[in-house]
Amino acid sequence: METAEIRRRWLAFFEQRGHTVVPSAPLVHADPNLLFVNAGMVPFKPYFLGQETPPYQRATSVQKCVRTLDIEEVGQTTRHGTFFQMQGNFSFGDYFKEGAIELAWELLTTSQRDGGLGFDEKDLYASVYQDDDEAISLWRKVAGLPESRIVRLGKKDNYWHMGVAGPGGPCSEILLDRGPEFGADGDWEAGDRYLEFWNLVFMQYELENVRSKEDFDIVGDLPKRNIDTGMGLERVAFLTQGVDNIYETDEVYPVIEAAEELSGRHYGADHGDDVRFRVVADHVRSSLMLIGDGVTPGNEGRGYVLRRLLRRAVRSMRLLGVDAPSLEHLLPVSMGRMKSSYPELERDFDRIGQVAYGEEDAFRRTLAAGTTILDVSVAKAKQSGSSRLGGVEAFALHDTYGFPIDLTLEMAAEQGLQVDEAGFRRLMDEQRGRAKADAKAKKAAHGDTLVYRGLADALGRDVEFTGYDQVATEATVRGLVRDGEVVDHAVVGDTVEVVLDRTPLYAESGGQQADHGRIRLQNGALLEVLDVQRPITGLVVHRATVLEGEVRTGETAEAEVDVTRRRSISRAHTATHMVHQALRDELGPTATQAGSENSPGRLRFDFKSLQAVPAAAMAEIEARINAVLLDDLPVTADIMSLDAARKTGAMALFGEKYGERVRVVSIGDWSRELCVGTHTPRVGQIGVVKLLGESSIGSGVRRVEALVGSDAYQHLAREAALVSQLTDTLAVRPEELPERIAGLVARLREAEKAIATVRQGQVLGAATALVATARDLGGVSFVSHDAGEGVTPDDLRALVLDVRNRLGNDRPSLVSMSAVANGRPVVVVATNERAREQGLKAGAFVKLAATALGGGGGGKDDLAQGGGSDATAVPAALGAVEDALRTRGA
């Protein structure tokens, strides 16, 4: 049975039994504690935590997941990968233990002919939490399992919680006995004989003081008991397809076959090669899915994980003997296997491929640079008589240059050196420990929302937003928060967070900055609103300062928007949609949004692109936007289902969480996007859009900034005034300015060259006279000279070398000179070959002089340069060189 068919059967089975099918959330999730979705329950976490009310009592999903804690271990075992799909069924206060066990047993043991998964009952076992007698009795009642096929295990294996205070409870795992060839009878810990593939979590308790996986306090029962189950799709696939591991399933193995063909090596022939084949297959698929969900390679966070995956895949192909680019052959194979479950991968494959192949090219250049750096490190090790490369050097190659340790090991061995792997691993462990400590510290973020959760529960429903149609709304003060605590009143001068039951003020979201405004209470109190946020879904808080009177909960109020600010931001937001569409029209569909900011009078738009946008293209984009403004297209917003929105071609943002009903903002028939922000009624009201330029803000991400409306007009007016001033000064027409300015610049450069030539001639002309000033200091011809101000470092260096060369090489000579350029002193020292034979090194003398100048310097033994900040210390600097030369033999 193919993996896609197992997935289809799962969803169909639970949908037929009253579960709402919830599409997989993107791998990039809003949870600040997670780089990626790493478990099937993550999208449902707000329901389990009580932050949101679930819109259904039963749900099922097949969730895309990525786990990256042990990337280096991928391929070493046959059961773990970075990307996997977690099938789950969930109950929110509906069925509990018995229902979960009944559903699981039915799906597992129903024959494949009848739509089930067709597992043989005699091969199935259950593990339960050691004190959960109820679960044991249910397994006997529902499945008829004898005591011998039910095993009691402790909290480490059969108790679930989120690692922080919140819901938790015992769980029960379903295991498959794979037979005696995989281990001994009753050896539950081995992991290969009795393979766990479905975990049923019975979420029923409120936990506090969670100190570890097994150490926590149960403080009471949850108001509603929930079910959260997870069955790894890849594990079920290899168990039902008659193969030994996840790498040999139908969605993964074709990449191994393609790698075999490219490398000429065979999977199963050598353990080392097998690990590399598995790394390639896993990482190519994981990269495909991550790029598909909008991740681009980078040096931090999610981007760094993707970069590591792609580079480990490329490196593994290199270790398999493939030096040529390989992703262009492997990635399409993975897409071909995954597209039946995720058709968007095929639609977006041009962009996905562009990102992946660009990163491979960059890494190949890194390999070339890293090889040079490695060669230098190897040479230094050999010169010092060492037979091994230090762990510090290996870690620097890995951490700073992205050079994989396996490649360092291989290439060092080729040159007869070992690598201090233990030192490297120690540094890696220290880095990993810092990362884990940071992640653990971030879990405290759950506690920050407790006060807001309490307010949301008290409200009993979401705060109603009226701002699409109104700029002033009557409301009731439902809650006040000051200094992180709920209060019942606030007085003049207090800064307080105000919760209303309804509001026209827009909370910062989707790149649009928050509204400002005022709240007037019926009792005469007045508050100035400085910010509006949504700390949790459904709750809007207004950060405000009390200007007059006293504010109390329960008071009637009127909230009003700062209309001037709102209109200016709305114009910028509509213009952002126009920039997005015009970029796609010019650059193609790969120019997808990666972030934005809409503020009064200006916008910032980030988009995916591996190359800079040519100036001519930017001009076309700006012209296109302003041409549409003249068409004065209407801007409309429609509420529809997510499926309907997708059918209209509406653009959605990677990583955004959308409900089943979405708001689609259209600019005529030209642009259509999912958006909750505020906009102008017609684009003509924007006036004008002026693009200020575009630039890189990271690997594969570019940024366009623009001015909108009156801000754009004022910018253009300033430019027009400047052009007018230049035309008057140069006595030319505006269209002649570029040519005239280019001519002036060319003449200026020629003049600067001529001046430099004359100045250098003057400086070098002093060489003959300076040679005549040479003194004998301990058998060394010594010249010291203060060139004064206005001599450039380049000219000073040329003068020093000229004097040294004129002194010849018959006897040792040392030349020391200083000058002041742009207010900063510089010193140059040169030695000839005879001086260096006596141990006189220019770099050592320059360091003495530079120290006197309050700075530093260095260079080679024959020529060195330094500088500092104290121009008054030039005599002391030259004197330090002379003193050191005079006393060298003392």
| Binding-site sequence positions for Zn(2+) | 573, 577, 675, 679
Residues 679, 510 contacting (CB under 8 angstroms): no
Closest-CA residue to 603 (of 721, 672, 513, 494): 513
CB 660 within 8 A of CB 598: no
* Closest C-alpha to 227, from 251, 264, 202, 197: 202
| Of residues 655, 867, 881, 666, the one with CA closest to residue 780 | 881
Measured CA to CA, the distance from residue 822 to residue 773 in angstroms comes to 27
DSSP state of 112: G
| Alpha-carbon 541 to chain mean position | 28
Residues 6+ apart with CB under 8 A from 264: 321
Q: How far apart are CA 647 and CA 641, in angstroms?
A: 10
**b vs e for 233-252, b when ≥16 Cβ sit within 10 Å of the residue's Cβ?**
bbbbbbbbbebebbbbbbbb
> d(Cα 188, Cα 79) in Å, to the nearest integer?
16
Nearest to 155 by CA among 124, 128, 135, 175: 128
CB 205 within 8 A of CB 216: no
Residues 143 and 157: their CA atoms lie apart, in Å, by 22
Task: Identify the CA nearest to 618 among candidates 588, 590, 582.
Answer: 582
45's enclosing H/E stretch is helix 45-48
- The torsion of the CA quartet 58, 63, 68, 74, rounded to 10 degrees, works out to 120
Q: Among 289, 290, 262, 259, which Cα is nearest to 276's? A: 259
CB 189 within 8 A of CB 232: no
With CA atoms as reference, report the closest residue to 47 among 35, 58, 36: 58
Please enumerate, by residue number, every residue annotated as part of a binding site.
Answer: 573, 577, 675, 679
The residues that bridge with 608 in the sheet, in sequence order, are 701
The tokens describing 641, both together, are: 């289902």
The CA–CA distances, whole Å, from 108 to 17, 122, 146 equal 15, 12, 18
682, two tokens: 């017609």
Amino acid of residue 94: D
Task: Number of helices (H) and strands (E) in the chain: give both, helices first.
Answer: 26, 35
- Any idea which residue has 């007037």 for tokens? 520
